Copies of this chain bind each other. A is one copy, B any other.
Amino acid sequence: MAVTIKDVAKQAGVSPATVSRVIADNPRISSKTKVKVREVMEGLGYYPNFQARNLVAKKSQTLGVVMENSATLAFQNPFFPEVLRGISTRAHGSQYGLYLSTGATQEEIYSEVVEMAQGRRVDGIILLYSKIGDPVMEYLSKSGLPFSVVGRPFKDPCSISYVDNDNINNTKETVEYLIGLGHRHIAFVGGAVDFVVSLDRLEGYKQTLAQHGIPFDEAYTANQELMGGNEREAIRRLMALEVPPTAIVTHDDMVAYEVIGYLEDLKIQVPEDVSIIGFNNHAISRHLKPPLSTVDISIYDLGLHAAELVLEKITDESVPPKQVIVSSRLIERGSCRRL
């Protein structure tokens, strides 16, 4: 059915080996032969069969991209397309394709990754998240398969190639900014607690409070687990504290807007009554009301570097693990006010 290397060889009057060498643009083949063979390939509409080629080359020219496939609001945001755009760009530049994990649960993801790796479906893997005690990362570390992570690994980060923002410091900067505006009662709404990024942000938050002699109070914090699907109630509780916060740091712009919505239902205005700041700088955030102050984390660059890191490992197994910190930048807009 499909045109094979043999068909081309026959028609061009050469051996299959020669055709193969023409495809690889082997310099030992005469240009006369090359021209002839290429003509025949064109004429016959020949395309090399990946499976065959990869089988003998023991590679797949493919990167596995592993993500959580969740329907929650934090995933309903532009992080994914944007990081993928970064990965795509870099991968495409090196003729690599992208294979996506499709698992919905932890277990599905795990077994898919094992299959990808052992079945030689991919040459390397990019893990789009970093969480505590993640069996996927454990497996990857042991497997010897090149991989990189978007997000600092919880365990033994120096032995793993990853790209991340400096989440402790960018959160510090954020909280500093609010303190600079005169806020003292600052709440923190974080993501799922098993994500390292959530830990880091919380850590940055705590450190800044400590530096300014503001006591840390758990009651001023919330996270995905605490809210347990009832964000509205969590916000209500927060604002019902004896001394309610005058500012709230949220881990994602979309979540920030969700919070703003709940606040408005409570007749609390942003920024008049409460200041809010987000993370991730979604393209839409500057158009919304209020225009959200946020932290741009260079999502595209995260993707670009993550791809770069695996690709490096694939090309040269012996390169030591590398850590890339991508810059982030506080963007002041209208959602915070000076007290």
Contact = CB atoms under 8 A, between A and B. Distances in A.
Give this chain's copy count.
Answer: 2
Contacts of A65: 100
Q: Which one of A69, A114, A284, A286 has the greatest number of beta carbons of chain B within 10 Å?
A: A284
Given A88-B102, A99-B100, A102-B97, A120 B51 contact: yes
Interface stretch (A5-13, A181-189, A219-227, A253-261): A253-261
Given A71-B85, A88-B100, A261 B282 contact: no
A264 B47 CA distance: 55
A233 to B, nearest CB: 15
B287 A260 contact: yes
Interface in A42-63: 45, 47-52, 54-55, 60, 62
A67 to B, nearest CB: 9
A49 B45 contact: no
A78 interface: yes
B76 A282 contact: yes
A96 B100 CA distance: 11
11 contacts: A45-B118, A47-B118, A50-B121, A51-B51, A71-B85, A76-B282, A89-B102, A92-B104, A96-B102, A258-B284, A262-B287
Interface in A75-131: 75-78, 80-82, 84-85, 87-89, 91-92, 96-100, 102-104, 108, 114-115, 118-121
Contacts of A54: 51
A240 interface: no
A76 B104 CA distance: 22
Interface residues of A, number: 61
A236 interface: no
Contacts of A115: 47
A2 interface: yes
A288 interface: yes
Contact of A2 (B92, B120, B264): B120
Nearest to A87: B102
Q: Which one of A2, A114, A262 has the greatest number of beta carbons of chain B within 10 Å?
A: A2
A283 interface: yes
Contacts of A260: 287, 289
Given A54-B51, A98-B102, A81 B82 contact: no
A137 B222 CA distance: 48
Nearest to A49: B120
A73 interface: yes
Contacts of A254: 283-284
Interface in A252-306: 254, 257-258, 260-262, 264, 282-284, 286-289, 291, 300
